[in-house]
Amino acid sequence: MAKEKISRAQDYSAWYNNLVKDADLAEHSAVKGCMIIKPYGYAIWEKMQAELDWRFKKTGHQNAYFPLFVPKSLFEAEEKNAEGFAKECAVVTHYRLKTNPDQPGKLMVDPDAKLEEELIVRPTSEAIIWSTYKNWIQSYRDLPILINQWANVVRWEMRTRLFLRTAEFLWQEGHTAHATKEEAIAETKQMLDVYSDFAENIMAVPVIKGVKTANERFAGAEDTYCIEGLMQDGKALQMGTSHFLGQNFAKAFDVKFLNKENKLIHVWATSWGVSTRLMGALIMMHSDDEGLVLPPKLAPFQVVIIPIYKSDEEKELVIAKGNEILEALTQANISAKFDSRDTHKPGYKFAEYELKGVPIRIALGPRDLANNQIEVTRRDEKTKEIVDADMAIAYIYQMLEKIQENLYQRALKFRNEKIIEVNSWEEFNQALDNGGGFISAHWDGSPETETKIKELSKATIRCIPLENNSQKGTCVFSGNPSIERVLFARAY
Amino acid sequence: MAKEKISRAQDYSAWYNNLVKDADLAEHSAVKGCMIIKPYGYAIWEKMQAELDWRFKKTGHQNAYFPLFVPKSLFEAEEKNAEGFAKECAVVTHYRLKTNPDQPGKLMVDPDAKLEEELIVRPTSEAIIWSTYKNWIQSYRDLPILINQWANVVRWEMRTRLFLRTAEFLWQEGHTAHATKEEAIAETKQMLDVYSDFAENIMAVPVIKGVKTANERFAGAEDTYCIEGLMQDGKALQMGTSHFLGQNFAKAFDVKFLNKENKLIHVWATSWGVSTRLMGALIMMHSDDEGLVLPPKLAPFQVVIIPIYKSDEEKELVIAKGNEILEALTQANISAKFDSRDTHKPGYKFAEYELKGVPIRIALGPRDLANNQIEVTRRDEKTKEIVDADMAIAYIYQMLEKIQENLYQRALKFRNEKIIEVNSWEEFNQALDNGGGFISAHWDGSPETETKIKELSKATIRCIPLENNSQKGTCVFSGNPSIERVLFARAY
């Protein structure tokens, strides 16, 4: 537990770091930049995985597993992709250790066990997967291939933050192969919709769907679609990307097929992914100065029951009733925990579950039993209600739905108020410095202007929203003509 | 598809290799020793994971995630463990590539990006996990810690075989910490029981529970418990291990706690794991010369429906009925696939699903419709039955249970017939050369004898069975006194 409680207003970044550790979500490891995802954090990630996996399968995808390592010759085949990741990849050069003759009990890399070809720990799997698809695809009958992989990847980041940016992270990466450009683009957009559905309806995080500028595109993609969320400090967070890869990887790995017209052509590709970064978004979006706030659909347990008693006689009655409620909640498919530990006081437990973001807390004492009632507290609004014990299950069921909806509406209102239209460079900078948010501004469409704006303001174009009104104007920076507004923000 | 069908009798090893590829389970990758698990194979692995994960959670374990990399200094801390894995580990030495000035478009390891300390790609995670537990454990109140991790690991094997032995494989590894020796041993045995329950009741593979000799123990363990299966070629396969680690890792990483008596002592540990190797056991145990045979509890789909028709009119009726049956099966929680592709003939489909081991095939033609019946074929016994269509769902439900049970009983009978008691070195070798199996023999208990027997016969002591009668005798090799029989076998 951090010694001193830091509020969001004091230092949002420190607040986040403390929260991740204090709520037992994750911590730093002995390996620079790599994190340990602790059981409570991992339980949330498992719920995310289950929700996503189900959506992938419903849209026709199957899971598979490809190697962790990419031989250097394959890694460098698609040049833009290789260039994009070369500067941050872990390289395996040897396959054996030996005892160090100079230091008894210590090991050293065995120089005789040098690999002929270095292996790159995958930063993403396009290269290894497309070198495989080459053998799987001959005719249009072999298409589409709709595969997803749950895996760990490594990108050697210099500045890391738990969940948001770590050297190793967990993710899923979809890799699909199609006979036509249209089909591949439709897939790219479909998966973006799957991500936004998940973000909004499960994570309760509103997102803007858009397309990246050339500068911000995935290395090797023709187009990168994204969902962007806005955190409480006014900074944007990219929550998922879906790439239309064109024929770039098919050309790099020579993957051709005979189409229906009996012509040999290159295959069209997509890839799409979300990662444990979503944990960062979830934490930052809803939590408050008292701790984590979890949407019921992702909470490892949705309800915690805390008994309050003094005498042994009271204890017996309260424990019995607590078990009865636990059983009834479980029967109703509400995940609940009954914390009957007698090593900790109720006040301690209240604070613990507040910190851990459990959506609903039930307190149960002798007076509640006498009046056939329970005390129900919502984590999101911290409101307390007294509920007839006979109606408790139905009441809690509805309250969970209300909390889920409330978190989304609260976040949506916040986000919408933070989309700020500006029409000059001065307004642009004022908005950024005055709480940030998505700055909706005209841009002349040139990468040079984009780069200059980034240098001067640290704001990047998060996306060109898919639902954008075409509106002529002049670029806030260059004054050149613009055909539409785009969304700028400082970002994680 | 392999050009020529090879039977088990002809060449068991080639039969296995072909089957893994032809049934679309896995294939070799561009990375030496690493495999690609294809969607159909991965779907089976996912079912295994779900069954195991549920059992782990029911016994109080939580999932978490620890880093892929182990810094060399941590790796070497527990000397026996380090020694056991040093010869087969992938080592990351650099964190960046750069463009090769001599070869445009090619990359090379950037010599300026050498790591100060090499990172080992985890062959197992005791080191990284115990270096973490050190920070989590102060008092007996922090114990037990009951954590499992689903992960990939790398052991640089020279001779690899799909699923059975690969450089990278997928597994789960449980790592628990306890206040007392007794509790740790109880945990070790509990997890062995979880594994044997899973092997027998889900995989339909009978196993012998036992303990390894010192020679065969996990590097760093005090005792290694195991479950051992027997494949159709008479060779044994170690299917899972559960290690009592004593205080070895606690001592190596200085993990102590204040016990209830306020004494500072080292923590007791266990670790336990099963891997994608189980896929190899599943395939080898039940399959036949026509292909894979899957137990219903692990089949990606349990029933396949194949329509048979000539005219368009017939097609319409048969497809309608097929969809009706599919819907009814799905309602009854039976996973089914209706293969209504008109690009392939029924005969082709029959062979395909036989090869893929689908437990039940339903063929549905116009005559079946006229007689209100369906034709049901069991994959395990290849028997065909005509069933009243109105009774079909209940009938299939029961048939799936029968197939699951039949596979287990068949394997159990085979295995039991292959446990051969021998009382001399001559009998020992005869048994081994005459179809193999578990050779139950007296052994004098010395590692030297064990090593000599291994050198001469290629048979190892698979385990000292937990349910063993103490029976005095003389060692089949040395003639020295023995207190019990142990099980030898040639093994995968």
3-state class (DSSP) for residue B62: strand
Handedness of CA A134, A136, A139, A142 (dihedral sign): negative
Alpha helices in A1-115 (DSSP H): 12-22, 39-58, 72-75, 79-86
Q: Nearest residue on chain A to B157, judged by CA atoms?
A: A95
Domain A12-92+100-286 fold is: BirA Bifunctional Protein; domain 2 (3.30.930)
Q: In this predicted complex, what is the ipTM?
A: 0.97
Q: Nearest residue on chain A to B341, judged by CA atoms?
A: A141
> What is the rounded CA–CA span in Å between residue B488 and residue B439?
5
Residue A468 is predicted with a pLDDT of 85
> What is the rounded CA–CA span in Å between residue A461 and residue A68?
33
> What is the rounded CA–CA span in Å between residue A78 and residue A269?
13
> What is the rounded CA–CA span in Å between residue A57 and residue A200?
19
H helix count then E strand count, chain B: 14, 26
A417-461, pLDDT tens digit by residue?
Answer: 999 999 999 999 999 999 999 999 999 999 999 999 999 999 999
Residue where the block lists tokens 């540990």:
B269
Please name the residues in contact with A156: beta carbons below 8 A apart, sequence gap of 6 or more.
A33, A87, A88, A89, A90, A167, B95, B96
Tokens at residue B299, please?
């089949």
Q: Which of B31, B42, B109 sits opposite A93 (nearest CB)?
A: B109
Q: Where are the domains of chain A?
A: 12-92+100-286, 296-402, 419-489
| Mean pLDDT, rounded, of chain A | 96
Q: Please state the CATH superfamily assignment of the domain spanning residues B298-402 in this structure.
A: Anticodon-binding domain (3.40.50.800)
Tens of pLDDT along chain B (492 residues)?
556 789 999 999 999 999 999 999 999 999 999 999 999 999 999 999 999 999 999 999 999 999 999 999 999 999 999 999 999 999 999 999 999 999 988 999 999 999 999 999 999 999 999 999 999 999 999 999 999 999 999 999 888 999 999 999 999 999 999 999 999 999 999 999 999 999 999 999 999 999 999 999 999 999 999 999 999 999 999 999 999 999 999 999 999 999 999 999 999 999 999 999 999 999 999 999 999 999 999 999 999 999 999 999 999 999 999 999 999 999 999 999 999 999 899 999 999 999 999 999 999 999 999 999 999 999 999 999 999 999 999 999 999 999 999 999 999 999 999 999 999 999 999 999 999 999 999 999 999 999 999 999 999 999 999 998 888 999 999 999 999 999 999 999
- A168 and B68 in contact by Cβ < 8 A? yes
- B93 neighbourhood in chain A, CB within 8 Å: 91-94, 109
Chain B segment 96-155 residues within 8 A of A by beta carbon are: 96-99, 105-107, 109, 118-121, 128, 131-132, 141, 147, 151-152, 154
Q: Which of B93, B106, B132 sits opposite A91 (nearest CB)?
A: B93
Residue A303 is predicted with a pLDDT of 98
> What is the rounded CA–CA span in Å between residue B320 and residue B156?
53
Q: Nearest residue on chain B to A128, judged by CA atoms?
A: B30
Shortest CA gap B43–chain A (Å): 7
Residue pair A69/B31 in contact by the 8 Å Cβ criterion: yes
- A488: Cα separation from own chain's centroid: 20
- A86 neighbourhood in chain B, CB within 8 Å: 96-99, 107
**Disruptive mutation site among B31, B38, B143, B253 for chain A (greatest number of A CBs within 10 Å):** B31
Domain B12-69+124-286 fold is: BirA Bifunctional Protein; domain 2 (3.30.930)
Residue pair B63/A46 in contact by the 8 Å Cβ criterion: yes
A–B interface: beta-carbon pairs under 8 A: 190
- A63 and B82 in contact by Cβ < 8 A? no
> What is the rounded CA–CA span in Å between residue B259 and residue B263?
5
- A105 neighbourhood in chain B, CB within 8 Å: 76, 79
- A39 and B62 in contact by Cβ < 8 A? yes
Tokens at residue B44, please?
């089976």
Q: Does A386 touch chain B (CB under 8 A)?
A: no
Shortest CA gap B279–chain A (Å): 14
**Cα torsion through B368, B373, B378, B379, rounded to 10:** 30
Tokens at residue B448, please?
């030297």
Which is nearest to B490 in space by CA: B429, B426, B432, B447? B432
> What is the rounded CA–CA span in Å between residue B379 and residue B294?
8
- A151 neighbourhood in chain B, CB within 8 Å: 152
Q: Which of B95, B97, B128 sits opposite A30 (nearest CB)?
A: B128
Chain B segment 29-68 residues within 8 A of A by beta carbon are: 29-31, 34-39, 42-43, 45-46, 62-68
DSSP run (H or E) holding A414: helix A392-417
Q: Does B28 touch chain A (CB under 8 A)?
A: no
Tokens at residue B97, please?
């590539």
Residue pair A40/A300 in contact by the 8 Å Cβ criterion: yes
Shortest CA gap A334–chain B (Å): 17
Residue where the block lists tokens 């020793």:
B33
| Residues, chain A | 492
Q: Please state the CATH superfamily assignment of the domain spanning residues A296-402 in this structure.
A: Anticodon-binding domain (3.40.50.800)
Residue pair A180/A268 in contact by the 8 Å Cβ criterion: yes
According to DSSP, the residues that pair with B484 across neighbouring strands are: B470
Tokens at residue A270, please?
């997509």
Q: Which of B31, B72, B119 sits opposite A119 (nearest CB)?
A: B31
- B71 and A31 in contact by Cβ < 8 A? yes
> What is the rounded CA–CA span in Å between residue A57 and residue B184?
40
- B46 neighbourhood in chain A, CB within 8 Å: 63
Q: Which of B34, B96, B128 sits opposite A69 (nearest CB)?
A: B34
> What is the rounded CA–CA span in Å between residue B205 and residue B82?
33
Please name the residues in contact with A143: beta carbons below 8 A apart, sequence gap of 6 or more.
A137, A177, A178, A179, A257, A267
Q: Nearest residue on chain A to B131, judged by CA atoms?
A: A30
H helix count then E strand count, chain A: 14, 26
Handedness of CA B150, B156, B157, B161 (dihedral sign): positive
Residue where the block lists tokens 């005979």:
A258
pTM exceeding 0.80: yes
Burial group, residue A178, by CB count within 10 angstroms (0-12, 13-18, 19+): buried
Please name the residues in contact with A135: beta carbons below 8 A apart, sequence gap of 6 or more.
none
Residue B104 is predicted with a pLDDT of 86
- A68 and B168 in contact by Cβ < 8 A? yes
- B38 and A71 in contact by Cβ < 8 A? no
3-state SS track over A169-192: EEEEEEEEEECCHHHHHHHHHHHH
- A63 neighbourhood in chain B, CB within 8 Å: 39, 42-43, 46
Which is nearest to A100 in space by CA: B279, B60, B76? B76
Supply the Cα-derived Rg of chain B in whole angstroms: 26
The CATH number corresponding to B419-489 among 1.10.1450.10, 3.30.110.30, 3.30.390.50, 3.40.640.10 equals 3.30.110.30
- Could you say which residues of chain A have pLDDT below 50? none
Write the DSSP symbol of residue B280.
H
Q: Which of B36, B93, B95 sits opposite A156 (nearest CB)?
A: B95
Q: Which of B87, B105, B120 sits opposite A79 (nearest CB)?
A: B105
Residue pair B205/B214 in contact by the 8 Å Cβ criterion: no
Residue A4 is predicted with a pLDDT of 76
Residue B343 is predicted with a pLDDT of 87
**Dmax (CA) of chain A:** 85
Q: What share of chain A is helix, strand, coil (3-state, %, to 5)?
A: 40, 30, 35
